[in-house]
């Protein structure tokens, strides 16, 4: 019998390339505004709007773990500053929707979906993300027992709540689980801090060097099942 019961997965830069997805979503977001909020576009080019969003977060640090609300609220503020008054809320919600739709069009790393399908036969798979990707809208969701986002829990990795939520859902101990993710701070150090094993995904361009806390690391999805087996054999 396997010692490992739960595999929790980060999403961005672990299952798919994040940069092209975000670039597409930012483009869709701004194009929507070009069509629907010309006064805002006249005042903010894409860089200025991005800077406005960061400024808004600095003024409202409580939004840090609520990436969707942060984007909507900061755009609402930019629309008000552009003279849209009472229309701003509705315009911000519609522009966010354009972003969100595009955000779900992801570019999987090679072999990822096939390996997830295989792993789902032997393990409970749960996704844990700090971002706003929604895998319930993707075909691979059928391999996952559940999916949790930082903004649902009000706490982002590396804090413990997302990891503990996965352990509770899978009804297993930390030592019976492996978290797989690309971020050495949020994924590797965060998972190790709650006693889970950690495998570092080094798939994206400019992936960091293997972290000393990572139990294993991989740069090709086909390597992952063998690495997981090492924990069952130990």
For position 10 contacting Mg ion by CB under 5 A, the verdict is yes
Per DSSP, the residues of 5-34 read: -EEEE--BTTTEEHHHHHHHHHHHHHHHHH
**Which of 20-28, 51-59, 73-81, 174-182 is the region at the interface with Mg ion (rule: CB under 5 A)?**
174-182
Q: Minimum distance from CB of 44 to Mg ion (Å)?
A: 28
Q: Which is nearer to Mg ion, 12 or 73 (CB)?
A: 12
Q: Which is nearer to Mg ion, 88 or 130 (CB)?
A: 130
Q: Which is nearer to Mg ion, 96 or 109 (CB)?
A: 109
Q: Minimum distance from CB of 204 to Mg ion (Å)?
A: 8
Q: Which is nearer to Mg ion, 161 or 181 (CB)?
A: 181
Q: Minimum distance from CB of 9 to Mg ion (Å)?
A: 10
Q: Minimum distance from CB of 181 to Mg ion (Å)?
A: 6
For position 198 contacting Mg ion by CB under 5 A, the verdict is no
* 32 within 8 A of 92, measured Cβ to Cβ: no
* 125 within 8 A of 145, measured Cβ to Cβ: yes
Percent of residues in the chain assigned helix, strand, coil, to nearest 5: 55, 15, 30
For position 182 contacting Mg ion by CB under 5 A, the verdict is yes
For position 215 contacting Mg ion by CB under 5 A, the verdict is no
Half-sphere exposure of 39 (CA within 13 A, CB side): 11
For position 109 contacting Mg ion by CB under 5 A, the verdict is no
Q: Which is nearer to Mg ion, 132 or 183 (CB)?
A: 183
Provide the 10 A C-beta neighbour count for residue 231.
18
**Which of 55-63, 158-166, 168-176, 179-187 is the region at the interface with Mg ion (rule: CB under 5 A)?**
179-187
φ/ψ of 8, rounded to 5, equals -105, 145
What b/e readout covers 124-138, taking b as 16+ CB neighbours within 10 angstroms? bbbbbbbbbbbbeeb
Q: Which is nearer to Mg ion, 183 or 200 (CB)?
A: 183
- Give the C-alpha separation, 95 to 30, whole Å: 8
Per-residue contact track with Mg ion, 12 to 41, x per CB under 5 A?
A: xx----------------------------
**Helix 18-36 and helix 88-103: axis angle, to 10°?**
150
Q: Minimum distance from CB of 18 to Mg ion (Å)?
A: 7
Residues that bind Mg ion (CB under 5 A): 10, 12-13, 182-183
């Amino acid at each position: 019998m396997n010692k490992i019961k739960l595999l929790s997965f980060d999403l961005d830069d672990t299952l798919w390339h994040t940069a092209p997805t975000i670039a597409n979503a930012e483009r869709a977001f701004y194009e929507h505004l070009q069509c629907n909020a010309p006064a805002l576009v006249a005042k903010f080019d894409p860089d200025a709007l991005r800077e406005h969003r960061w400024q808004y977060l600095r003024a409202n640090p409580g939004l840090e773990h609520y990436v969707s609300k942060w984007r909507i609220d900061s755009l609402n503020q930019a629309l008000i500053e552009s003279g849209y008054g009472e229309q701003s809320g509705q315009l911000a919600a519609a522009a966010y929707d354009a972003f969100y739709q595009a955000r779900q069009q992801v570019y999987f790393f090679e072999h990822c979906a096939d390996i997830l399908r295989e792993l789902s036969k032997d393990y409970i798979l749960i996704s844990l993300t700090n971002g706003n990707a929604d895998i319930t809208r993707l075909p691979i969701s059928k391999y996952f027992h559940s999916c949790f986002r930082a903004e649902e829990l009000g706490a982002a990795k590396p804090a413990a709540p997302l990891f503990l939520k996965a352990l509770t859902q899978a009804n297993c101990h930390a030592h019976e689980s492996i978290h797989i993710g690309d971020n050495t701070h949020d994924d590797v150090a965060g998972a190790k801090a709650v006693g889970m094993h950690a495998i570092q995904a080094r798939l994206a361009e400019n992936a960091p060097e293997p972290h000393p806390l990572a139990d294993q690391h991989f740069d090709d999805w086909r390597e992952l099942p063998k690495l997981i087996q090492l924990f069952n054999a130990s």
